[in-house]
């Protein structure tokens, strides 16, 4: 049994408590939050305290999950490492690459295990698209677009404060970039990005990021929390991926979509024009009858509990931790390039 402690028992701390409860081989022994109100519903048999030092001094905690505000991560990871605890830190692991580098030094010095809760590698929609990408069904993929839109999204508490690590790039950007880098598996040549504060004063609530990969993939990631539309299909997550042999699209976190290929790839069309309701066209007419072949999305079986299943196996040396610190560092570095591009209005060379 691996014994866990949670520091920061707010929204995500409670999610971790529920996840650990459902993970065989894991036991939650202690939680800590500086706000005593958050500790009112701590399950029986689990110790509770308001001081991280007290939790870290306990000898019934093997692994500490840090789920406090982003600006607390460096301090708490350092404290946990010095107390000899293995660490899972929430994303974004740090506010900058420089902060992460300091954390890495301390963790190495103390010889503890360190990984990050970037569990959205187990999102079903993402894994579905990744499965199509890996299968090479679409031939040479040249474009990947992913978006996440919310209706009048509610950014709340410290998430709207710059000094505490608020904003959507830190919040969801880290997941979206991590998914893209992990899937495409190629060096990023350049980044062009825009960050906007649509209605927030201090932090970004919209981003649009274009990544140019060395293998020819152009990836576009767009997120907006304030899409005032009554079209329900716009909310949630969307994917579109195009290759020279087909496309795939999906909507929603429980993905609904299709793979579309062709029974015969035509490089030149014999028809001269098609009359469309927007006027005649030679290049953008409909596909001739019978040429498109549609297939269902592949089945994937995963959920966020897989993150902890992997953690426990890796803890016993049976597999690698799904999230490795050099990958986390790469995402943070990319986020810094995103901010540089957004600030200068110029494309930034990356790797």
Ligand X SMILES: NC(=O)c1ccc[n+]([C@@H]2O[C@H](COP(=O)([O-])OP(=O)(O)OC[C@H]3O[C@@H](n4cnc5c(N)ncnc54)[C@H](O)[C@@H]3O)[C@@H](O)[C@H]2O)c1
> Which stretches of the chain bind ligand X, using CB under 6 A?
7-12, 32-35, 38, 52, 67-70, 72, 76, 90-91, 117, 119, 157-158, 171
CB of residue 90 vs ligand X: minimum separation in angstroms?
A: 4
CB of residue 32 vs ligand X: minimum separation in angstroms?
A: 5
CB of residue 59 vs ligand X: minimum separation in angstroms?
A: 20
Which helix (H) or strand (E) segment holds residue 21: the answer is helix 11-21
Between residues 71 and 137, which has the closer beta carbon with respect to ligand X?
A: 71
Between residues 169 and 259, which has the closer beta carbon with respect to ligand X?
A: 169
CB of residue 292 vs ligand X: minimum separation in angstroms?
A: 37
Between residues 32 and 297, which has the closer beta carbon with respect to ligand X?
A: 32
CB of residue 202 vs ligand X: minimum separation in angstroms?
A: 16
Beta 274-276 vs 279-281: how paired, if at all? antiparallel
Buried b (16+ CB within 10 A) or exposed e, 285-299: eeeeeeeeeeeebbe
Between residues 52 and 144, which has the closer beta carbon with respect to ligand X?
A: 52
Q: Could you tell me if 33 and 39 are in contact, meaning their C-beta atoms sit under 8 angstroms apart?
A: yes
Label residue 21 exposed, middle or buried (CB < 10 Å: 0-12, 13-18, 19+): exposed
CB of residue 158 vs ligand X: minimum separation in angstroms?
A: 6
Between residues 8 and 224, which has the closer beta carbon with respect to ligand X?
A: 8
Q: Which residue is nearest to ligand X (CB)?
A: 10
Residues in the chain: 351
248: DSSP letter = E
Contacts 24+ apart (CB under 8 A), 228-231: 228/151, 228/152, 229/151
Question: Can you tell me the distance from the alpha carbon of 85 to that of 327, in angstroms, rounded to the nearest whole number?
Answer: 22
Q: Could you tell me if 38 and 50 are in contact, meaning their C-beta atoms sit under 8 angstroms apart?
A: no
Q: Could you tell me if 241 and 257 are in contact, meaning their C-beta atoms sit under 8 angstroms apart?
A: no
Between residues 10 and 252, which has the closer beta carbon with respect to ligand X?
A: 10
CB of residue 301 vs ligand X: minimum separation in angstroms?
A: 20
Structural Rg of the chain based on CA atoms: 23
Those residues whose C-beta lies under 8 Å from the C-beta of residue 320, and which sit 6 or more positions away, are: 314
Residues linked to residue 28 through DSSP beta bridges, in sequence order: 4
Between residues 147 and 261, which has the closer beta carbon with respect to ligand X?
A: 147
CB of residue 156 vs ligand X: minimum separation in angstroms?
A: 8
Between residues 8 and 150, which has the closer beta carbon with respect to ligand X?
A: 8
- Crossing angle (nearest 10°) for helices 11-21 and 305-315: 70
Question: Can you tell me the distance from the alpha carbon of 56 to that of 206, in angstroms, rounded to the nearest whole number?
Answer: 38
């Amino acid at each position: 049994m691996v014994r866990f402690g949670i520091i920061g028992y707010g929204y995500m701390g409670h999610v971790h408590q529920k996840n650990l409860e459902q993970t065989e081989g894991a036991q939650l022994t202690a939680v800590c939050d500086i706000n005593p109100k958050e500790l009112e519903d701590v399950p029986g048999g689990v110790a509770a305290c308001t001081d991280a030092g007290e939790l870290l001094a306990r000898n019934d905690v093997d692994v500490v999950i840090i789920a406090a505000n982003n600006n607390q991560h460096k301090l708490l990871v350092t404290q946990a490492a010095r107390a000899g605890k293995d660490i899972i830190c929430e994303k974004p692991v740090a506010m900058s690459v420089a902060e992460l580098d300091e954390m890495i030094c301390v963790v190495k010095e103390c010889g503890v295990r360190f990984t990050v809760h970037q569990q959205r590698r187990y999102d079903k929609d993402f894994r579905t698209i990744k499965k199509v990408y890996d299968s090479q069904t679409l031939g040479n993929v040249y474009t990947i677009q992913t978006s996440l839109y919310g209706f009048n999204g509610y950014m709340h508490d410290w998430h709207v404060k710059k000094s505490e690590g608020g904003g959507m790039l830190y919040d969801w950007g880290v997941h979206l970039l991590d998914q893209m880098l992990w899937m495409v598996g190629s060096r990023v040549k350049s980044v062009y990005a825009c960050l906007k504060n649509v209605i927030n004063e201090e932090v970004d609530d919209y981003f649009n990021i274009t990544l140019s990969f060395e293998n020819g993939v152009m990836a576009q990631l767009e997120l907006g929390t304030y899409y005032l539309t009554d079209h329900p299909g716009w909310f949630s997550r969307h994917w579109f991926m195009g290759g020279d042999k087909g496309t795939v699209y999906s909507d929603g976190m429980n993905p609904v979509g299709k793979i579309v290929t062709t029974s015969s790839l035509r490089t030149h069309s014999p028809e001269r024009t098609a009359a469309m309701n927007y006027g005649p066209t030679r290049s953008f007419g409909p596909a001739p009858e019978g040429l498109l072949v549609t297939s269902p999305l592949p089945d994937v079986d995963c959920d966020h509990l897989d993150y902890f299943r992997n953690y426990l196996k890796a803890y016993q040396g049976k597999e690698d931790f799904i999230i490795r610190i050099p990958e986390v560092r790469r995402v943070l570095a990319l986020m810094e390039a995103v901010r540089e591009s957004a600030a200068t209005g110029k494309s930034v060379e990356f790797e």
